[in-house]
A and B are shown apart, each in its own frame.
Chain A
Amino acid sequence: MVKKDLEKVDQASELNLSRRNVLGAGALVAGAGIIGSQMIDPIAGIAHAAGSDAPIKIGFQAHRTGIGALYGRWYERTTNAAVKHINSIGGIAGRPVEIITEDDGTDPKRGADVVEKLATQHKVDFVFGTLFSHVVMGSAPRAGELKIPYFVVSEGYHVASGALNRYVFQPCITDVRAQISAVSGWMFNNLGKNVTIIYPDYAFGYNHRDYASAAAEKHGGKIVAKIAIPPTESSYTRYFVKIPKNTDVIYHVMVGPGVLTFVRELGEHFGPNHPQLFGFIDSLEGVNISSPGLDFLDGSHFWEAMPRYASAADSAGSRFYRNAVGVDNSGASKSDSKDIAAYSHMFGCWETLFAIKEAVEQSGYKSKKDYATLIETMEGFTGFNEGIAHPQGAKAFSGKTHQCYGQQFVSKVGNGKLNVVHKTSIADGMYEPETDYTKQSL
Chain B
Amino acid sequence: MSSWINENGPLLFLALLDGTVTAFVLALIALGLSLVFGVMRIVNIAHGEFFMLGAVFSWFAFDLTDDPLWGFLLALVLAPALVGGIAVFSDRFILRKIKYHPESTIVATIGLLYVIQSLTLIVFGPEARAVEAPLYFRIQFPWFGYSGYKLIVAGMSALGLLGVWLLMIRSKLGLYMRATQQDLEIAKTYGVPTKKIYAAVFALGGGLAALAGVLVVPIRQADHLMGLEPLLLSFIVVIIGGLGSIRGTIVAAFIIGISDGIISVFYEPTLAKMLATLFVAMVLVLKPSGLYGEEVA
* A contacts, CB < 8 Å to B: 64-66, 69-70, 72-73, 230, 233-235, 237-241, 257-258, 260-261, 265, 267-271, 286-287, 291-293
Question: Residues of B contacting A233 with CB < 8 Å?
Answer: 269
Kindly provide the distance from the CB of B10 to the nearest chain A CB, expressed in whole angstroms. 8
CB distance from B114 to the nearest CB of A (A): 14
Q: A241-B265, A257-B128 are in contact. Are A271 and B140 (CB under 8 A)?
A: yes
Among candidates B128, B261, B264, B269, residue contacting A70 with C-beta atoms closer than 8 Å: B128
- A261 and B223 contact, Cβ closer than 8 Å, known pairs A270-B145, A271-B138: no
Taking A241-B14, A257-B128 as known contacts, 4 extra A-B pairs with beta carbons closer than 8 A to each other, sorted by chain A number, are A70-B128, A72-B126, A234-B220, A268-B146
Chain A residues near B269: list those with CB within 8 A.
Answer: 230, 233, 238-239
Q: How far is the CB of A261 from chain B (nearest CB, A)?
A: 5
Task: Using known A-B contacts A241-B14, A241-B265, A292-B133, determine if residue A268 contacts B138 with beta carbons closer than 8 Å.
Answer: yes
For residue A241, which residues in chain B have a CB less than 8 angstroms away from its CB?
Answer: 10-11, 14, 144, 265
With A238-B265, A261-B221, A270-B144 given, is the CB distance from A73 to B270 under 8 Å? no
In B226-265, the 8 Å CB interface with A consists of 226, 229, 261, 264-265
- 29 example contacts (A-B, Cβ-Cβ < 8 A) are as follows A65-B126, A66-B126, A69-B126, A69-B127, A69-B128, A70-B127, A233-B269, A234-B226, A237-B146, A238-B264, A238-B265, A239-B269, A241-B14, A241-B144, A258-B128, A260-B130, A260-B221, A267-B138, A268-B138, A268-B146, A268-B147, A269-B146, A270-B144, A270-B145, A271-B138, A286-B127, A292-B132, A292-B136, A293-B136
> Is the CB–CB distance between B138 and A291 below 8 Å?
no
Q: In the assembly, what is the distance between CA of A64 and CA of B138, in Å? A: 35
When distances are taken between beta carbons in the complex, the residues of chain B under 8 Å from A286 are 127
Chain B residue nearest to A261 in the complex (CB): B220
Please indicate the chain B residues that have their CB under 8 angstroms from the CB of A238 in the complex: 14-15, 18, 261, 264-265, 269
Docked Cα-Cα span, A238 to B15, in Å, equals 7
Most buried by B among A238, A260, A291: A238
Select from chain B the residue with minimum beta-carbon distance to A234.
Answer: B220
Most chain-A Cβ atoms within 10 A of its Cβ — which of B132, B229, B269?
B269
Q: Does B98 contact A (CB under 8 A)?
A: no
Contacts of A235 in B (CB 8 A): 18, 22, 219-220
Question: Is B121 located at the chain interface by the 8 A CB criterion?
Answer: yes
How many Å from the CB of A83 to the closest CB on chain B? 22
The reply to whether A73 and B144 form a contact with Cβ atoms under 8 Å apart is no
CA distance A40 to B226 in the complex (A): 40
Is the contact region of chain B dominated by helix, strand, or loop, or is it mixed? mixed
CA distance A69 to B219 in the complex (A): 20
Residue of A nearest to B145 (CB): A271
CB-based nearest A residue for B136: A292
B220–A258 touching, CB < 8 Å: yes
Q: In the assembled complex, which residues on chain A have CB atoms less than 8 Å from the CB atom of B133?
A: 292
In Å, the complex CA distance between A286 and B144 comes to 28
List the A residue with the shortest CB-CB distance to B269: A238
Of all chain B residues, which has the CB nearest A265?
A: B147
Asked if A73 meets B127 with Cβ closer than 8 Å, knowing A258-B221, A261-B219, A292-B136, the reply is yes
As a 0/1 sequence over residues 5 to 16 of chain B, the CB contacts with chain A under 8 angstroms (1 = contact) are: 000001100110
Q: How far is the CB of A102 from chain B (nearest CB, A)?
A: 14
In whole angstroms, how far apart are the Cα atoms of A147 and B22 in the complex? 50
Residue from B18, B125, B144 having most chain A Cβ neighbours under 10 A: B144
Q: Cβ of A293: which chain B residues have Cβ within 8 Å of it?
A: 136
In Å, the complex CA distance between A260 and B136 comes to 15
Q: Closest Cβ of chain A: how far from B143's Cβ, in Å?
A: 9
Q: What residues on B are CB-neighbors of A257 within 8 Å? A: 127-128, 221, 223
Contacts of B136 in A (CB 8 A): 292-293
Cα-based distance from A73 to B145 in the complex (angstroms): 35
A372 to chain B, nearest CB (A): 38
- Closest Cβ of chain A: how far from B58's Cβ, in Å? 15
A50 to chain B, nearest CB (A): 36
Given the complex of chains A and B, what is the CA–CA distance between A258 and B216 in angstroms?
Answer: 13
| Contact indicator B126/A237 (Cβ below 8 Å) | no
Are A64 and B128 touching (Cβ within 8 A)? no
With both beta carbons as reference points, the residue of chain A lying nearest to B261 in the complex is identified as A238
Q: Taking the nearest CB of chain B, how far is it from the CB of A296, in angstroms? A: 9
B289 to chain A, nearest CB (A): 31
Task: Give Cα A73 to B10, complex, Å.
Answer: 42
A286 to B47, CA, bound (A): 30
Give min CB distance, A402 to chain B, whole Å.
30
Measured between C-beta atoms, what is the minimum distance from B113 to chain A in Å? 16
Cα of A267 to Cα of B140 in the assembled complex, Å: 11
Q: List which B162-207 residues lie within 8 A (CB) of chain A.
A: none
Residues in B with CB closer than 8 Å to A70 are: 127-128
Residues of chain A within 8 A (CB-CB) of B220 are 234-235, 258, 261
Indicate which residue in A234, A237, A240 contacts B229 across the interface (CB closer than 8 Å): A234
Q: How far is the CB of B91 from the nearest CB of chain A, in Å?
A: 30
Residues of B within 8 A of A261 (CB): 219-221
Which residues does chain B contribute within 8 Å of A287, judged by CB atoms? Answer: 130
Residues on B with beta carbons closer than 8 Å to the beta carbon of A269: 144-146
Kindly list chain A residues whose C-beta atoms are within 8 Å of the C-beta of B130. Answer: 260, 287, 291
Bound complex: CA of A230 vs CA of B140, how far in Å? Answer: 27
Compute how far the CA of A292 lies from the CA of B135 in the bound complex, rounded to whole angstroms: 11
Complex CA gap A241/B7 in Å reads 12
Given A237-B18, A241-B265, verify A64-B126 contact (CB < 8 Å): yes
Is B121 within 8 A of A65, CB to CB?
Answer: yes
Query: Complex Cα distance A286/B128, Å?
Result: 10
Q: Report the nearest B residue to A293, measured CB to CB.
A: B136
In the complex, per-residue mask of B210-224: 1 if CB is within 8 Å of any chain A CB, else 0: 000000000111010
